[in-house]
Amino acid sequence: MEDVYISSFEMDPCTSTNELRIFVGTWNVAGRSPVGSLAVDLEEWLKPQDAADIYVLGFQEIVPLKTRTVIGAEDPTEATNWNLLIGKTLNENFGCPWLTPMLNPVSSDNYQYVKVPDCERRASFSGVIDSTLMRGRWITQYHQQLVLGGSKYKLMASKKMVGVFISVWMKKELLKKYCVSNVKVSSVACGIMGYLGNKGSVSVSMSIEGTSFCFIAAHLASGEKNGDEGRRNRQVSEIFKRTSFPRSAKDDDNRHPLTILGHDQIFWFGDLNYRLDLEDNLARDLIKKQDWKALQGFDQLRKEQEDGGVFEGWREGNIKFAPTYKYSSSNCNRYSGGLPNRSGEKQRTPAWCDRILWYGKGVKLLSYFRSESKFSDHRPVSAQFSTQIEVMKSTNSRFLDKETNFHNIMPPEQIGPSINKEEGKPTLLSLIVKDTESSSTHMQVDTNY
């Protein structure tokens, strides 16, 4: 269903609608790091020359799904590497310098980053950066780039759960034009034994003016056997049931939704792992013919929607590209398996495992496509949307054109030292630099869930 447009909001006479362009992408990166000998180029996927206002990127398997990564403490290293690479790709095309991704830049038990502007004190916080920051000048530079640096796009929210990762970026100019508030994150683990994080979702909730958004990056159960589709369906139900964005005492807007379906515009994307109910050789024949319409007739997710199962009433673009999984690890130009059987290769019927769905009013799909990076056994998938947001007619005159500072990230009482330069007191960044030059204590960025 391409170019689907849902009717606009019921407008209050004191409001108008503005358009935002949103890029949503999903990619299972098969446990590979984006830096080092396997460094990946995101240019072709993100296409920054056709710039969106907001980039929402979901990843799966940013770490290998081994026992130590599934049940051990969260390690932020790869999430940081991906964020740096995303920021570099989005910003350097606009002449904004950006740090080069580095191996093992940080170490922390938890990885969560949420950033919101002041919005005339109407913003709320679901997580704040701890007053003890990471050690080292590089970390100071990294944090400064994400939060304060001279860039076109700013990191708004980022959340990792084992291998599932979401990263949300917004044009800096929009933070001056609109009130962006109630930025919150949520994670649901529903993998091994129903509660480990090898499968599940990480979500971001936020409001832009009078419109609420929810972005859900998910990785569902794999498999082609009987019962595997049912496991995926149950995990979808669990994510709907357990994803929540509780209000805090500091929330000024008690209308902000608490659950996924309470939002105005919802985007669900990821390695959903739905397969083709079709014999392998027949599926490969249809792929050779590029008969995508016939192939979609065997797609489990489409049949679930049509039969009133999961995601009934949700929308997805017309799929006009080849299945995105599973490509051979030794030769990524062909699918794994097939006949004759190749030694050591897993026999997998190709499928559209990687999907992007949406629900709500004021959303128009502009494009739905896959990219051709051979970095992983999955191909990245992207969708570009035009969305409407409800804006108070006096909005543009309400905000001052000013730079975002640390007051926009956490309340003054949680910062510690004053950062008011006019009072002649030290800035937070100056204290970080001074401390990192004189202390050998290991410091880290950490937040509360």
For residue range 68-109, list pLDDT tens digits in order: 788 878 889 999 999 999 999 999 866 565 554 443 332 233
pLDDT at 115: 53
Q: Which 8-state DSSP code applies to residue 307? A: T
User: At a CB cut-off of 8 Å and minimum separation 6, what does 19 contact?
Assistant: 386, 387, 388, 389
For residues 29 and 60, is the Cβ–Cβ distance under 8 A?
yes
Mean pLDDT of the chain: 78
d(CA 177, CA 170): 12
66 token code pair:
């081994």
pLDDT at 322: 98
Q: Which 8-state DSSP code applies to residue 276? A: B
326 token code pair:
């599973």
> Does the pLDDT at position 237 exceed 80?
yes
Q: Which of 222-226, 231-235, 292-296, 445-449 has the lowest mean pLDDT?
A: 445-449
Q: Which of 59-68, 265-274, 355-364 has the lowest mean pLDDT?
A: 59-68
Please state the rounded mean pLDDT for residues 53-63: 97
Peptide bond connecting 326 to the previous residue in cis, omega within 30 degrees of 0: yes
d(CA 333, CA 312): 34
Percent pLDDT > 70 in the chain is 69
Give the sign of the dihedral formed by CA 309, CA 315, CA 318, CA 319: negative
pLDDT at 29: 96
> Does the pLDDT at position 136 exceed 60?
no
pLDDT at 356: 99
pLDDT at 144: 54
Q: Which of 129-138, 160-169, 416-425 has the lowest mean pLDDT?
A: 129-138
pLDDT at 320: 98
Tokens 């030290």 correspond to what residue? 426
Q: Among residues 127, 187, 188, which one has the least CA distance to residue 156?
A: 127
- The DSSP element (H or E) to which 230 belongs, if any, is helix 228-242
> Does the pLDDT at position 440 exceed 50?
no
User: At a CB cut-off of 8 Å and minimum separation 6, what does 91 contact?
Assistant: 97, 98, 151, 152, 153
> Does the pLDDT at position 408 exceed 70?
no
For residues 364 and 5, is the Cβ–Cβ distance under 8 A?
yes
Q: Among residues 148, 209, 263, 189, which one has the least CA distance to residue 20?
A: 209
214 token code pair:
């929810």
Percent pLDDT > 90 in the chain is 56
Whole-model pTM over 0.85 = no
d(CA 77, CA 65): 15
pLDDT at 391: 92
15-438: CATH, from 3.40.50.620, 3.60.10.10, 3.90.1170.50, 3.40.50.300: 3.60.10.10
User: At a CB cut-off of 8 Å and minimum separation 6, what does 183 contact?
Assistant: 114, 115, 116, 123, 124, 125, 126, 156, 157, 204, 205, 206
Largest CA distance in the chain: 75
Question: What is the DSSP annotation of 130-170?
Answer: -SSPPSSHHHHHHHHHHHTSS-SEEEEEEEEETTEEEEEEE
For residue range 333-382, list pLDDT tens digits in order: 889 887 666 656 778 899 999 999 999 999 999 999 999 999 999 999 99
For residues 304 and 296, is the Cβ–Cβ distance under 8 A?
no
Say which residue, 430 or 269, is predicted with more confidence. 269
pLDDT at 248: 81
pLDDT at 194: 81
Q: Which 8-state DSSP code applies to residue 53? A: S
> Does the pLDDT at position 422 exceed 60?
no
Say which residue, 242 or 343, is predicted with more confidence. 242
pLDDT at 146: 54
* Residue 219 bridge partners (DSSP): 200, 271
d(CA 25, CA 223): 23
